Amino acid sequence: MSEHQPPVHGHCDARFTAVRTAFEENFRDRAELGAAVSVMVGGETVVDLWGGWADAARTRPWERDTLVNVWSTTKGPTALCAHILADRGLLDFDAPVAAYWPEFAAGGKEKVLVRHLLSHRAGLAGLRAPHSLAELFDWELTTERLAAMEPWWEPGTVSGYHAFTYGFLVGEVVRRVSGLLPGAFLEREVTGPLGIDFTIGLPEKEAGRAAELVHPPAASASEQAAIFAQLAPAAIAALANPMVGAGEANTPEWRAAEIPAANGHGTARAVTALYGIFAGRGAHDGHRVLSPEAAERVRESQGRCRDLVLGAGLDSETELGLGLWLSGPNGSYGPNPRAFGHDGFGGSCGLADPEAGVSLGYVMNRMGPHIADDPRKMALIDALYSVL
């Protein structure tokens, strides 16, 4: 380790030394700044490592309890909220969204099903009208605009990544059924009882534990123009209405908002525990959160396709379940094509492999440029499966 890089801390079972080596190599060879990785196998924690810096200036070491915004890795816990309600018979994924949210039927959406929201097939990848960051922080305004708009494509036919709108769409259904926004529902039903250090948004009292996100090097104006020239209007709406990056996500306003698709804050340990509910077929640490049947339903394939939003940035087709992505032939979550998980903007991820009884959480603060399958994440996953 160089004098500018604190050593890696934590625990790693001898059998999983390859994961520790990959984690250390991320700092040495892949420009890691601060990060943590955690792995559970059969309900036991076998890897719990952290290291590096919690800030760009390298003045705050990454600690055992450092929190960081995990962007779309938040979508897994948000999907979990919907699956809990469905497991209790309170929510039907094959029912029209308008059965729970009557205003949603506007704009020709009366036949959009709840499963279409979970699988990014609702045609509502982004709002048509300009939507500012301040407006994104306004739950009522954002959900009202989504309820009123017409879809970009025929719902149910193909997926198009709902980068921010996913959380408002699934989240509003959760609110209509349970009376609670996803953050409060998750805390009441899961993270509170299980003692999992994860929140949607960040309570002000926890701000001192939060790592500073660092954005990847910006593309030049000509490079940005070339990227946007490849994107369909729906993709531009999904990814740039509004434009959000590390600078915005480091603000108190972002942290205070309820954005269930993108502003979950937690440790790698917490991400591993949440995705471990899926890996454990609905149970974690002796606590049953979902029935085995409900946990299995999370990875019920909604069909492979080239995603209408992410297609320009991904080399192949992808496959969505009901809220999470399947590993598939791409191996995004390891060699088991039935493993599943979710990546976050810039690199973080949560992974669940019920066949192997494995869950993994990886969080970091220096964001990479990749849409999915960041090399640091893939190095950790490859190392994990090399010893299983």
Q: Once rounded to an integer, what is the mean pLDDT over residues 162-174? A: 98
Q: Once rounded to an integer, what is the mean pLDDT over residues 133-162? A: 98
Q: Which DSSP helix (H) or strand (E) runs through 80?
A: helix 75-87
Cis preceding linkage at 96, omega within 30? no
Strands (DSSP E) along the chain, which ranges?
9-12, 34-41, 44-52, 68-69, 198-200, 264-266, 283-284, 287-288, 304-305, 318-319, 325-326, 340-343, 349-353, 358-364
Q: How confident is the model at residue 219 (pLDDT cuts 50, 70, 90)?
A: confident
Q: Once rounded to an integer, what is the mean pLDDT over residues 259-287? A: 98
Return the pLDDT at 221. Answer: 77
Backbone angles phi, psi at 342, to 5 degrees: -155, 135
Return the pLDDT at 66. Answer: 98
Assigned fold of 9-72+200-387: Beta-lactamase (3.40.710)
237, amino acid identity: A
Return the pLDDT at 4. Answer: 57
Those residues whose C-beta lies under 8 Å from the C-beta of residue 327, and which sit 6 or more positions away, are: 333, 334, 335, 336, 337, 338, 339, 340, 341
Return the pLDDT at 210. Answer: 98
Q: List active site positions.
A: 72
Residue 1 has pLDDT above 80, yes or no: no
Q: Once rounded to an integer, what is the mean pLDDT over residues 190-205? A: 98
Q: What is the spatial distance between Cα 358 and Cα 302, in angstroms, rounded to a whole number?
A: 23
Residue 2 has pLDDT above 60, yes or no: no
Q: What is the CA radius of gyration of the chain?
A: 19
| pTM, entire model | 0.97
Domain positions in the chain are: 9-72+200-387, 79-183
Return the pLDDT at 313. Answer: 66
pLDDT digit string, tens, across residues 319-359: 999 999 999 998 999 999 999 999 999 999 999 999 999 99
C-alpha dihedral (7, 28, 64, 340), degrees to nearest 10: -150
Q: How confident is the model at residue 124 (pLDDT cuts 50, 70, 90)?
A: very high
Return the pLDDT at 229. Answer: 76
Find out whether 269 and 49 touch, Cβ atoms under 8 Å: no
Q: Which of 101-115, 300-314, 363-377 has the lowest mean pLDDT?
A: 300-314
Beta strands 68-69 and 9-12, pairing class = unpaired
CA contacts within 13 A on the Cβ side of 146: 32
Residue 69 has pLDDT above 70, yes or no: yes
Return the pLDDT at 316. Answer: 77
Return the pLDDT at 218. Answer: 75
